[in-house]
Amino acid sequence: MADKTALVISAHSADFVWRCGGAIALHAARGYDVTVACLSYGERGESAKLWKNEGMTLDRVKTERRAEAENAAEALGVADIQFFDLGDYPLDLDRDAKFRIVDLIRKVQPAFMMSHSKYDPYNTDHMYATEIALETRMIAQAWGHNPGEKVLGAPQLYLFEPHQTEQMGWKPDVFLDISPVWEKKRAAIECMKGQEHLWAYYTNVAENRGNHFRRNSGGQSGGRAATHAEGFQSVFPRCVDEL
């Protein structure tokens, strides 16, 4: 049986909150150790509000963004959050940085991984993070990479919900009922002081995904009364014993 662990690879330090905060809180509540890897702080490209302050510096932005992310992680019950500080807009990893991600994957041995959509013309860091997730997952599976370490199995890679899903060609194939932990996700969202304009947006998303959960679980004939949900797209096929 796989360990109850999960790993989220987030291009910028706030992505994990909007896109899979519910999944994190839910799995944490179910006993999973969820690790979040923030490849950057989104310090250049996703901190407009901070930069509008007089005399702002890159270091101060990073510090603020890190604090927000740590608060959100705590609200969600994240077991471990790691900041790789690799720079954003653009995000770009050399071989060493990739191997550091591999080290983390092998240490966590996740039952499943999460990252961004495959395509994103608005934000090339996002799709690059997913390329990295696939590449480092592959390296972690290599028996010749740091021989002697425990080799990675074949964890699913879930692509979490991007902004403007249709433009990204993202299609969810699984809806997760996050009703029991919605308050935690909302609390984490409210830790994101710099992006308050998105609070209502992602609350709407969660409610409407709740509608999709109700519809796909049976609708008016037996559907589950979920109030909030999150959607994910699976990269790999599932292996099951019963349909």
| Residue numbers 170-209 binding a second copy by CB under 8 A | 170-177, 200-201, 204-205, 207-208
DSSP states along 115-179: E--S--TT-HHHHHHHHHHHHHHHHHT-TTSSBTBPPP---EEEEEPPSSHHHHT----EEEE-G
Question: Taking contact as CB under 8 A, which single stretch among the options 8-16, 78-86, 181-189, 235-243 is the one that binds a second copy?
Answer: 235-243
| Nearby residues of 227 by Cβ (< 8 Å), 6 or more positions away | 179, 182, 207, 210
Measured from the CB atom, the residue of 13 and 47 that comes closer to a second copy is: 47
In the window 96-125, what residues touch a second copy (CB under 8 A)?
Answer: 98, 112, 121-125
- Examine residue 224 and tell whether it contacts a second copy (CB under 8 A): yes
Any idea what the Cα angle at residue 115 is, between residues 13 and 22, rounded to 5°?
A: 75
Candidates 156, 181, 182, 228: give the one binding a second copy (CB under 8 A): 156
Question: Residue 95 is inside which H or E element, if any?
Answer: helix 95-108
Candidates 63, 67, 74, 142: give the one binding a second copy (CB under 8 A): 142
- Examine residue 227 and tell whether it contacts a second copy (CB under 8 A): no
Measured from the CB atom, the residue of 84 and 180 that comes closer to a second copy is: 180
In the window 33-52, what residues touch a second copy (CB under 8 A)?
Answer: 43-45, 47-48, 51-52
Q: Among 100, 111, 115, which Cα is nearest to 36's?
A: 115
Minimal distance, residue 213 CB to a second copy, in Å: 5
Phi/psi for 224 (5° steps) reads: -80, 140
Measured from the CB atom, the residue of 27 and 184 that comes closer to a second copy is: 27
In the window 74-93, what residues touch a second copy (CB under 8 A)?
Answer: 88-90, 92
Any idea what the Cα angle at residue 131 is, between residues 14 and 237, rounded to 5°?
A: 100
Measured from the CB atom, the residue of 37 and 123 that comes closer to a second copy is: 123
Q: Sign of torsion, CA 22 191 133 84?
A: negative
Number of shown-chain residues binding a second copy (CB under 8 A):
93
